Amino acid sequence: MKILEIKSLVFPEIKVIKFTRFSDNRGYFTETYRYSDFENQPIRLCSGLILSGVRRRRMYQFIKGIKFVQINESYSKKGVIRGLHFQWNPYMGKLVRVISGHIIDLFLDIRKNSPTFGKIGGYELKSALNDELNHWIWIPVGFAHGIVCLEESTIEYLCTGEYSPGCEAGISPLTDDIDWSLCDKKIKNQFDELVKKGAAVSEKDRRELTVEEWRKDKRSENFIYGKL
């Protein structure tokens, strides 16, 4: 796996990992994940500098000791919105990439006492057969996760916990009390436009909690800022 870049988004806990594909006239090959590369390989910053040694170890700290125990694949049609979901007992961090298609990946801070509680961010992820690069996005414990499908898309999730029935909840992506102030305006406009046109959202996701209901919910004590 050849990692080119790791960068943080509006929340420092959310990371985007850019890696290469090796292409020729036959097609391409890529390693999508290799544990030792996250431990040992220097990475290239946006500035073009190579990061190694102590600084590299700090950059990789977010994934140090992480063990992935479940892999999920999700296919969605254009115009689908899924989420915003989160799990506990066990907790589930997610490493997400687009196998094919084009999505907006959404991440909402659900950690009680967090200075950014209730705020949401988004990042566009896309993948086509002729792309030279692909991306992972890391969604750690403490963030609800969702996707907005701008095209027919297939998504892969590497998960740090196995799914446990009864230990999942969600915030409705349509609730009015999500704070979009940190989110890129282009992404918010794309979301609003899709909702206006009649996005496909499951009844379960529509009926999920508001941010304020989550704040008052006893289950939110599983997600305390600074203790995760």
Q: What is the pLDDT of residues 135-169, one digit of tens each?
A: 999 999 999 999 999 999 999 999 999 999 899 99
Angle in degrees, CA 196, 198, 200, rounded to 5? 135
pTM of the model: 0.90
Q: Which of these is catalytic: 28, 33, 102, 157?
A: 157
What's at 34, amino acid-wise?
Answer: R
Q: Distance (Å, rounded) from C-alpha 71 to C-alpha 149?
A: 20
Interval 175-208: pLDDT, tens: 999 999 999 999 999 999 999 999 999 999 999 9
- Sequence-distant (≥ 6) Cβ neighbours of residue 88 within 8 angstroms: 141, 167, 219, 222, 223
Mean pLDDT for the chain overall: 90
Q: Residue 60: what pLDDT?
A: 54
Angle in degrees, CA 40, 162, 121, rounded to 5? 70
Q: Distance (Å, rounded) from C-alpha 217 to C-alpha 86?
A: 14
Domains of the chain: 9-18+66-222 (2.60.120.10)
First to last CA, the chain: 29
Q: Which of these is catalytic: 28, 85, 102, 225?
A: 85
- 35 belongs to the catalytic site: no
Q: Distance (Å, rounded) from C-alpha 121 to C-alpha 140?
A: 13
- 85 belongs to the catalytic site: yes
For CA atoms 7, 119, 200, 72, the dihedral sign is: positive
Q: Could you please report the per-residue DSSP string of 4-55?
A: EEEEE-SSTT-EEEEEE-EEETTEEE-----HHHHHH--EE-TTS-EE-HHH
Closest by Cα among 96, 163, 85 to 135: 96
Q: Distance (Å, rounded) from C-alpha 32 to C-alpha 184?
A: 27
Structure tokens of 171? Answer: 């915030």
Percent of the chain, pLDDT > 90?
Answer: 73
Q: Residue 48: what pLDDT?
A: 47
